[in-house]
Structure 1
C-alpha cells in the first residue's frame, strides 16, 4: 500500500481508499491500461512524423543528386561521343548478325552436315575460300563444304579430299578423311589463321608446309588437267574398252587417260594411261643416280574387297603393279596372290601417289630430232651424265653424253643429231 495526498484537503491517505477519511472527498482510481495505450499512441505519432520528415528530405537529396549527375554528363561527355558508342554497339550487333547470316547461308549453299556442333559449323564456315601458303605462293588450299583441294599452280596439278572432324585434348582438327597416305593432313583453324599438321592416327606433328593465309572467299576448286569430267563421253568414243566392263569402270578408264606424276618426287616417276595400257617411267637421273627405266603393260580390272583395281597383265615379275583411282588421285599397289598391299618406293619408303598433269596419253618416247632440252630430259633418256658445250659467234652447241656410248647434239637448244 502507498500513501497519496487527497486532492481536496491535501492530507495523506491510502491509495486503496475510495474517499478521504478526513474530508470525505471521493477518490477515483487511475486506469493504468488506458494511460499506457495513450502513451503508446503518442509515441507512435511522434515516430511517424519523424519518418515522414526524413523520407521527404532523402527524396529531395536524391533528386538533387540526379540532376547534378545529368548536368555533369552533359557538360563532360559530348553528344557525338555518346552517339558514337551507341553506333559501335549497333555495328557490333550487325557484325554478329552478318556472321550468323553468312554461316546460315553457307549451311544452305554448302550443305554443312547437321551433326556438327555450332563451333564446328563456324570453323567450316570460316574456312570456305582460297588460302595461300605463307612461304610458297604457288601452293593453295581451297575449302569447299566438307572438302579441300590442295593445288600447286606452278606445277599445274591438284588433288581433293573429304574432311572430317577429330578432337584432340585441347581443340578440334579437320582431317583428310579419305587420304591414301599413312599420315593425313590435319588443319587447325583459329582466329582466322590456318596451320597444317601431320596426323598418324594418334599424334599430331608440324607439317613442312606450315601456315596459310586466306586470299579469297571464292571456294571454287581450281581446274587442272585432271578435271576432265565434261570430256568423258568424248573420250569414251575414242577408246577400245572390253565389253565386259561396267559403265562405272568405263568412266574410270576414260578419266585415267593421260599422264600422271608421282607427288613430291621432282617429276622422276610418271604413269601414262593409254586405252587399256599403262606406261611406267622412272627417270633415275632426276635423283642423280640410276638409269631411266620404262615398260608398257596391258591392263585388266579386278574388283577386290569392293574396289576396282587396274592391274598389269602378263608382268613377268613375281608381283604385278595395281592402281587404285580414288578422289582424283592414283595410288600404286602390289598385287599379290592373296590381295593387294601398298607399293613402297625405295626413295623415301612412302607410298606412290600420282596426280594427273596432262590429258596427253602419248607414251613417253626416246629422244627425237627437233626436241628441246626439256623434252629430252622428259624422254626415256632423261638427264645426261655429262655435257660438253661449244660457243661460237653464231651458235651454242652442246653434246649430251649418256652411258652406253650414246650422245645427243644440240644447236641453239634444239636436237640436231642423235648417236647410239
Structure 2
C-alpha cells in the first residue's frame, strides 16, 4: 500500500509539473503576442509621427516658397520611388519652382507627371495649378498641349501651348466678328478670328 501511495504521489507530482509547464508556456506565448502587438503599435505610432514631421517640414518650406528645400525633403525618403504621393508632391513643388523662375514649359512638364485623379497632400492645390496651365478639355482627355500652336486651335489651347500667354493683345471688333493679334515678341504673332487661330507668324 505504501508503494501504491508513493507511486500515486510521484504521478501526481509529475502531472502537476507538466500542467505548470503548459501554463507557463501559454503565459509566455500570450506575453510574447502582447509584446508583439504593443511593438507593432509603437512602430505604427512612430511611423505616423515621422510622416507627420516629414509633412510639417515640407509644408513649412512650401509656405516660405522654398520649393527646392521642400522637394529635397521628399526625395531623401527611402521609399520615395515606391510612394506615389511623395512623387506627385515632388513634381508639384518642382513645377512651382520652374514657374517662379519663368520656365513655364519645364513647370508644365512636371505637372504632366501627376495623375489627374491624384489624392493626397496638396491635391486641391495641384488640381488648381493643372487647371491654370492646361485647358479643361485637355485634363479630361488626359492629353497634353502641343509643343507649338497650330491653325485651328482655340484661344485657350494656344494659352496651354509652349507659346503660352502673349505679351500683348491687339483686338479689332467689327460687325463681322472679333479679330485678335497676339504679340509674343521676336517676330512671333498669332492671329485669331472669333477665338480660333487663323494664322501664325514666326
- Tell me the TM-score normalized by structure 2: 0.41
Q: Which has the higher helix share?
A: 2
| Larger RCO (CA within 8 A; separation ≥ 6) | 2
In our comparison, the structure showing a higher alpha carbon Rg is 1
